[in-house]
Amino acid sequence: MPNRADYGDAGALANLLGMQPQKTSPLAKSLIGINNTSEKQLFDPEGEGYDHITAQELEELYPLTMPKPTDAPKEGEPTTVSNEEAQSAWVWHKDANEWVKHGASVDRRTGRLLKGKNYPTFWMEEKASQDLGNIIVKKPDGYYYSLTPEGKIYGQDQ
């Protein structure tokens, strides 16, 4: 049976939330600990940044395998597309007249936000969470989470 260390920060968080811990990918494990830096030090949930380490880990676990669309979406067609279960998506940028790959704003395993509170588009995640009926809460670990009013992760079995 794996021990808690096999799950890294995700294991500690899972224990706090009463969930099954998720394994940390080898890539994330290799990035955490460089120059004695923890994942939390690399990403400031109050700052303007994005949690690239967790996003890369999620991209490995839930890859975007759909090829980049070649045509602009027609009137009424979606402007965000991806394969099922992908963590990233192709988003149409009308001003640039092209599809651009975007990573998700939320870690689907935990509900943790990947954008810092002062990230330029943090407001978009606030609106998306509200549209789902979620609330954004700051947990004792210092990170922000998008959770149902009951404290559950949206879309997971209640």
How confident is residue 27, by pLDDT bands cut at 50, 70 and 90? very low
Percent of the chain exceeding pLDDT 90 equals 58
CA dihedral 63, 65, 67, 73 (to 10 degrees): -70
pLDDT at position 74: 93
- Residue 94 zone, left/alpha/beta (φ > 0; ψ -120 to 50; rest): alpha
Tell me which residue of 145, 141, 136, 59 sits closest to 110, measured CA to CA: 145
Q: Please check the confidence at residue 43 and state whether its pLDDT lies above 90.
A: no
**Which residues touch 127 (CB under 8 Å, ≥6 apart)?**
none
Which residue is it, tokens 């995640």? Answer: 125
For the sheet with 80-81, list strands across it: 80-81, 89-93, 98-102
Q: Which residues pair with 112 in a beta bridge?
A: 145
> Which position has the higher pLDDT, 11 or 133?
133
Q: Please check the confidence at residue 58 and state whether its pLDDT lies above 50.
A: yes
